[in-house]
Amino acid sequence: MQNIRHKVIKGLKMRALVASTMMLSCGLSHAGWLASSSAPAEKVDSVTTEQVKKVLQQNPEIVYDALVAYQKQQAEAKQAEIKKYLTANARTLFYSKNDGVIGNPQGKVSLLILNDYRCGYCSKARLIIDEVVKNNSDVRVVIKQLPILGPESKYAAKAATMAQQKNKFDVFDQKLSGLTKPITTEKVNTALVQSGLKQKDMAAQSDSLDAVIRENYVHAQNLAVQGTPVLIIANSNLTKVEFIDNVLDQKAIEVKIQEYQS
């Protein structure tokens, strides 16, 4: 997911068209009422409708301008809503005990990546993040599981969550990421064994692990996330939090890290 704001605006287009139609309809009714409170409603509405139709036919840009203005208004409102949620929930998002952490656990700048182990772009993003960690010793990277590509994705996410709870996320993550793609249930089980974890323990904790994944889904929904990977950056005291649009642009990520360190 390269630019969440662009996707939000795109998703609002259909609602904008419907709303524009509704606004025109309401405008006609109000115009008819204001024209003459004593005139027959049918006649006033008919005359007003024809007048408005004529104006719109002669000036079609009025509808276009209204749609553009409405789209902008709705996009800005949605962005404000997302920003508010991001700020209000920053502590939970960046410091959940159920999320794996790589890099410097005490780093002053935190990167949060919403990850799906079966997602090809997530794999590419992780390679970029690994390089960022090598080049920036003061960066803490949080890996929050957001399985969206089927049962195998969810199984891998639950396994990673259990590994984190048992303080073995780092080794499990390395083992699983090192296996050939695509990731399957069998490969996840292999990574579990190689990490000193037991499949039966995962089965016993299935309900609680599901609950963690559901919580991540709720966060994603409130952040208008429509795919993975998603990258978010925060400073040490969580007073600055924002999305990084291009998760595959290492230079842009490192520039943003420098900005958040100052």
Strand arrangement of the beta sheet that strand 241-244 belongs to: 100-103, 139-145, 109-115, 230-234, 241-244
**CA distances, 55 to each of 52, 60, 64, 70 (Å):** 5, 8, 14, 20
**What percentage of the chain reaches a pLDDT higher than 90?**
69
Rounded Cα gap, residues 170 and 101, in angstroms: 7
Contact (CB, 8 A) for 137 and 104: yes
Res 21: pLDDT: 42
> Taking 70 as the threshold, does the pLDDT of residue 155 lie above it?
yes
Question: What DSSP state is assigned to residue 237?
Answer: T
Structure confidence at residue 45 as a pLDDT band (50, 70, 90): low
Structure confidence at residue 40 as a pLDDT band (50, 70, 90): low
The more confidently predicted of residues 57 and 89 is 89
Contact (CB, 8 A) for 119 and 229: yes
Among 49-58, 68-77, 233-242, the least confident range? 49-58
Region 171-176: what's the mean pLDDT? 96
What value, to the nearest 5°, has the Cα angle with vertex 236 and ends 132 and 83?
90
Rounded Cα gap, residues 105 and 139, in angstroms: 8
**How far from each other are the two terminal CA atoms of the chain, in whole angstroms?**
27
Res 46: pLDDT: 61
Question: What DSSP state is assigned to residue 134?
Answer: H
CATH of domain 91-261: 3.40.30.10
> Taking 70 as the threshold, does the pLDDT of residue 7 lie above it?
no
> Taking 80 as the threshold, does the pLDDT of residue 206 lie above it?
yes
Region 4-15: what's the mean pLDDT? 44
Chain centroid to Cα 240, Å, comes to 17
Structure confidence at residue 83 as a pLDDT band (50, 70, 90): very high
CA dihedral 239, 243, 249, 253 (to 10 degrees): 0
Res 2: pLDDT: 46
Structure confidence at residue 16 as a pLDDT band (50, 70, 90): very low
Res 86: pLDDT: 96
Phi, psi of 19 (to 5 degrees): -65, -35
Nearest to 66 by CA among 26, 29, 97, 108: 26
CA dihedral 233, 236, 241, 247 (to 10 degrees): 0
Region 222-246: what's the mean pLDDT? 96
**Residue 167 region by backbone torsions, left for phi larger than 0, else alpha for psi between -120 and 50, else beta:** left
- The per-residue pLDDT of the chain, averaged, comes to 85
Among 7-21, 91-105, 163-177, 213-227, the least confident range? 7-21
Residue keyed to tokens 């949605």? 78
Res 167: pLDDT: 96
Where are the chain's structural domains? 4-88, 91-261
The more confidently predicted of residues 40 and 31 is 40
The more confidently predicted of residues 62 and 120 is 120
Res 27: pLDDT: 40
